[in-house]
Chains A and B, each alone.
Chain A
């Protein structure tokens, strides 16, 4: 497979914010896999949400038609993205909003910091937003002496414990109820010392902790789920009411959106407002969805700023297939069904976009700088089982993109790595029946080696790198071809 150089700028990572970790996926995943508590928490949470999703998706008899409409709507958006953004800008401006453009994370943060400073506020309330997680806005505000208060329960848990988010929807999915209670007891000044780990009690503690802040906040910061180009309508989909608080009570609202979050018309939301809640929280509809357009006299913030963020999205748009990654509506269904995510957890991906979609989105947003780029390891964080495609509400062909990004990662290498050699050897072995048969017979020798019931290494070029992160089950005594030659399928 080859990729074409389209002459697009590959921007260095630092201005990108939190799109790249510090170690490769196999290294980080190895450590995560040793954490039995983490695996228990993730296993429990993802099993719960998979069952809920399956039940509510099952009751929609036109689900496949909705998925196809969602897929094509997003493809249409990509084909018209610059024009739709100009239309959105005009719609929002006509309704009293102010639109800003940001090339990268640093620029977006600088715009937001300046806007907050102009209000004189030293504290802001925030609705959970992947875009501002991506840019590292909280750190930028902190450096400017402005306290950013996360108000989503899971985001609050992450913030109070000085942790990192590990999931789109539930950034604290890696924490169980008793860990959350311990964090609250440690970090909330006015918390009831007898707080139990009952989820309802924990939710009440969060309500009490944030109530006064909501009622007195002067600046709110949010992300966007969908922005409607022709009406300038912005929507935020949430559960707890913290979003409504941040969008309604402050005098000033600053909203940061990735440029791909746009839909052409209001009626297009009829597709996404069906696909998103059922795929995300496994509900027929999430408790609260807020929509607004510009400024409404007498209701809500009287100053509204919309910051449109590129931050590598134009890199992704330039790839005819790869741009599908921009179709993502951040439901997290692909994380919840992924056997790799379920075991390794979100932190192992380094980027704040974890899971199957993160593994194809992050390397495209940052570009791959060379063989040592940790994001080059992300497309390998998959068994290519295809569950992510089946779960994706907008039919992103994630397995295809994973393979494509593996090829791109190899192309980025100036010298072949051991893994490249191994992959090429595998490709060569599978190229002709004769060679494949030979390879199978070589693998059978592994039966002699695998005393633990697993094969932990085999000799050969590149094999050490491959088995550094993988074990292989012992091969059967007879290969399929040998069995077929002997029985012709008879028994």
Chain B
């Protein structure tokens, strides 16, 4: 089932009544989620991604715009008629019910011809439990489960009605680091096994990059960029997206362009033909540096962190925001620590320049 969002907008009255006016949580969000894809809504907290999710599942009504599931307009339908399953950040398991009853709870609300017998409910619950591998836990109460197990129960509960769309609201943020890695693989597996169109909200770019087919980067209610994770990483449309994606983060420099050359400090570091002269912000991915004794960009060497396969060179440059820049180079490249200076050449496809509004300026 594909999901189509048309000009989806949500405005809230301002909390500070004296200030008046409205807060735009989601601003004309247009997007089409292809059938069977896993899509990540990514952005810092308060960017409107959860509001968008709540509108898709029907818990909040959009101020403007329409939502389609397939060809059907579901904008005015209540959540239970949309056929969605949702997993909340804190899982929202009913603490007084055991796992089995938690999973069958959604089925108890079915009416009319959809109504199920106790036996059928049980069967469906076990089916869903099997998918997330928690069949042995059915009699336990949520308080007797680990975080990861609770997570699985929540997913089973969301899947038991065989929803057309599965929504996950920060599903991993309550888990510890090790479990997070494991669970995100698990979510990917379940999504691929069931083929359910899945929308996943997260503020963790690594999480989004690693398992989604497509990411939507949002900030302040506005969509900045939509695309395949690698494409967005390699080709950010603006400074925000460039800064938000990638660990370690992109290095930002004050720079200017003069007659087709990009200057950082006084050093000409790159040919940028076709870019107008003026001041720009340059972003260089950590892997965009090539160690070269005759390199164009010179920095004060600070320290070297060995990370096994790679080496992270930490150095300083006055033009760099925060002074410290971090570059990642292959471990074979030996860094002479006795020298105070280190010089780099730059990979052209890892350097992005942005105008004063933060918009990307393409290099010729």
A binds B: no
Give chain A's interface residues, CB within 8 Å of chain B. none
